[in-house]
Amino acid sequence: MRPIMRLLCRMIAIAQSQNRSVIVTVNDRGPWVRGRVLDLSLAAAHSLGITDRGVAQVRAEVL
């Protein structure tokens, strides 16, 4: 079972492979794909340096 994040809560997304992090706001629910927990905006993915991949592992923590 996947966690359900509250809308408008703030989270920090961390791409450990790139040693980068970004603060994001939850504004939607999904993705509804097995094995995935969240979708990042293109801007957030760019900040993390992961736009060259379709899928990447990031750690997310509620602030």
pLDDT tens profile 27-39: 887 777 888 888 8
Residue 5 lies in a domain: no
| DSSP β-bridge partners for residue 20 | 15
Residue 39 belongs to some domain of the structure: yes
For residue 34, the enclosing domain spans 10-62
**Cα separation values, 60 from 15, 50, 55, Å:** 9, 15, 15
What is the model's pTM?
Answer: 0.80
The sheet with strand 59-62 has its strands ordered as: 20-25, 10-15, 59-62
- The DSSP element (H or E) to which 2 belongs, if any, is none
The pLDDT of residue 34 is 84
CATH classification of the domain holding 35: 2.40.40.10
**Number of independent structural domains in the chain:** 1
Q: Looking at per-residue confidence, does 21 or 6 come out higher?
A: 21
In this structure, is residue 2 part of a structural domain?
Answer: no
